[in-house]
Amino acid sequence: MELTSQSKHSIFSAGLAVLLLILIGRFAYVQLYLGEQYLLESEKNRVRPVEIEPPRGLLRDRYKDVIVDNRPAYAVYAVPAELARNKPAYQILATAFHTSEDELRKQITRTKRGNLIPTKIERQINFSGFSLLHERRVELPGIEFRAESRRSYLNGIKAPHLFGYLGEISDAELTAFGDNYVPGDLIGKKGLEREYEKILRGKKGRRYMEVDALGRVVGDLSGNAGSGYTGVKPEPGMDLILGLDASLQRMLEAEMLGRKGGAIVLNCKNGEVLAMVTKPDYDPDLFSRPLSSQEWNRLISDPEKPLYDRMVQSLYAPGSTYKLITVIAGLETGLIDPDERVFCPGYYRFGNRAFGCWKKGGHGTVNLLQAIEQSCDVYFYRMGLKVGLENWAKYSRLFGFGKPTGIDLVDERGGMVPDQEYMDQRYGRGKWSKGLMLNLAIGQGELLVTPLQMAYFAMTLANEGRTFKPRVRRGYMNPVNFEEEYPEPDSVFIPGIQPRSYEYAKRGMYMVVNSPTGTARSAQVPGVISAGKTGTAQNPHGETHAWFIGFAPYEDPQIAYCIFLENGGGGGANAAPFARKIIAMLHEQNKLVAHARMKDADD
C-alpha cells in the first residue's frame, strides 16, 4: 500500500523526534553524569603541574667546610602532546641539543609519563643551546626550562672514588627507590652519592601553572589562594658531614699524583676516614654533566683503570705487613716462643727447594721482636710451619680478613683467606704441600686483601682489639635549621686475644720505625713516636708492590694508616715516607689530639 504524503510526514517527524531525544539524552549524560570527569580533563589542559627538584644535600668535611657543592644548571622539559602537534620543533630542539631527531624521539618515549605531563628531554643544556631555544621560544609551545643541581667540587679536592657521581635513573632503580623519582631524574651512582642517596636527595615540591591553548604559561596558580591549587615546597636533602680532613686529603691527592695505589688514614678513636686517596683517578666534573659515549668509552678502555677504586675494590698480596697475623696466631696458640732464636743465612731450605730471604746475606740470629723489626723472612718461614694453615686462617678471619670491613661505600670486596678447604678444592684433597704455608706466613701466595682492610688491621692493633668499623660519614646537618646529628660509631671487639700478643706485635712495630736496624726509619717524625710495618709484595706482572701500615702516636694512638704503591718497589724505601708526611702535617697543625674527639663543634 502506497503511503500518503501525510503518513510520510508523520514517520519523518517521529524519526526526527527520536533522534532529538537521543541527542538530548546524550547531552544530559555527558553534562550530568560525565561532567565532573570532563571538567577534570579540561583542567588538565588548562592547569599544568610542575615538579620542583629539591636542593641536593652538600658534602662537608669534618670542620663543616663545603667540599661538594651545587651549581645551577638548566634542564629542558617538553609536554609530549604539544610537541606531537609541532613537527618543526623537533628540528629546532635536535639542533640545540646536538643530536638527531630520532634520538630525541627515543628520549621522549623513554621518559614519557603521559601526554600532558612535562618530561625531561635534556639536562644541563649548554649556553649556546639555551640561547637558541630562548630566541625561538614562540615556535616551541609546551617547552619549558627548569633549574636543577650540578655538582661542584671545592677546596682543591676531587676524590671521585670517594664522593661518587650522579647519573640518570635506570628502570631498575625506579623500581628500587620508589615514588620520589621519575624517568629522567638524577640519582647517586657510586660512592657516597649512592650510599647516602636517600638522605642527600630531599623531597620534590610542586606548583601549578596555568597555560593557554598554545601551551604557553600565563600564570602561577600555586600562590593564588582562590585558585584551589596549593603548591608544595620542596624539602632539601640533608648535608653530609664527613670525617675527612680537607687539608690532609688535598695533600695526599697531590703527593699521589702520577702514581698507582693510594693511602687511607683512619681515626683510631671512632673509625672515621680522615683521608682516602686512590690513583689514578678521573675528573669528577666529567660526570657532573651528560657524559658522551666517546668519553665513557675512553674511561672504560683506559689501561690505567681510573674508574677502579684500588683502596676498597682491588685485591693484592700484602707482603710482610701480614707477618703480624702469623705473630699473633703463634703467640695465641703457644706455638711461637718469643725468646726462641732462629738463624737466618739468607735462605730456608724446604725439601729440595731454597726459599730466599729478602736480605741476601741473611739476618744472622734473631728472636721474635728482631724478626719483626728487620722483617726476616726465614724466621717467619719457620714460624709459619709451626703455626700451620688452619691456625693461621682462623686468626686471619678473626681480624676481619676474608670479608668486607663494612665501610659506607659501595662495591667493597672482602679478599681471600685460603684454608684447608680452599686448598683441597684447588689442588685436590691431600695433594697440596705444607710448603704453601711458607708463602702465606710472609703475606704471599693465594692470600688477597684490600688496602682498606690493612688500614683497619693497623687500627685494630693500635686499639688492642677494641676498634671501630670504618666510616666516611661522620654526621648529618639539616640545611634549614642547621641542627646536627652524630650517630654513635660502630664499635668492634676482637675476642680472645691476650694483651701479651698485642704487646709483642706493637713493640715489634715500634722497633720497625725507631730502631737503627728497622726497615721503616724513613717514617720517623721528630716529636712524634710512631709504629709501623713495611711490606714488599712480589708481583708476577712487574715491579713489586710497596706497603706500609702503622699508627701514631705510639703511647696513645690517634691515627692508623695504610699506604700502598702499586709497582712501587720497596715498602720501607717508598711507602714509609708517605707516613712521615701524614704524621708531620697533622703534628704541625696540632691535629693528632683533636682527631680523637667525637665532635669538633665550635672549633
DSSP string for residues in 116-153? TS-EEEESS--HHHHHHHHHTGGG-TTEEEEEEEEEEE
Residue limits of CATH 3.90.1310.10 in the chain: 48-242
- Residues of the chain with pLDDT below 50 are 39, 595-603
* Helix residue spans in 375-498 (DSSP H): 377-387, 389-398, 420-427, 436-441, 451-462
Work out whether strand 545-552 and strand 531-537 pair parallel, antiparallel, or are unpaired.
antiparallel
CA nearest to 326, candidates 180, 438, 430: 438
**What is the predicted pLDDT for the residue at 581?**
97
- pLDDT tens across 90-113, in order? 888 888 888 888 888 888 888 787
C-alpha cell at 174: 625506579
Instruction: Please say whether the beta carbons of 307 and 300 come within 8 A.
Output: yes
Question: Residue 514 is inside which H or E element, if any?
Answer: helix 499-514
Q: What is the dihedral of CA 357, 358, 359, 364, to 10 degrees?
A: -40
**What is the predicted pLDDT for the residue at 228?**
65
Task: Specify the CATH number of the domain 48-242.
Answer: 3.90.1310.10
Task: Specify the CATH number of the domain 246-596.
Answer: 3.40.710.10
Residue limits of CATH 3.40.710.10 in the chain: 246-596
**What is the predicted pLDDT for the residue at 603?**
38
What values do phi and psi take at 50, rounded to 5? -125, 120
The neighbouring-strand residues paired with 145 are: 76
C-alpha cell at 168: 640518570
Kindly give, in sequence order, each residue whose CB lies less than 8 Å from that of residue 338, ignoring residues fewer than 6 positions away. 331, 367, 368, 369, 504
CA nearest to 353, candidates 416, 434, 246: 434
**What is the predicted pLDDT for the residue at 168?**
84
Rounded to whole angstroms, the Cα distance separating 161 from 158 reads: 9
Instruction: Please say whether the beta carbons of 475 and 598 come within 8 A.
Output: no
Kindly give, in sequence order, each residue whose CB lies less than 8 Å from that of residue 169, ignoring residues fewer than 6 positions away. 177, 181, 183, 184, 185, 186, 187
Rounded to whole angstroms, the Cα distance separating 326 from 317 reads: 15
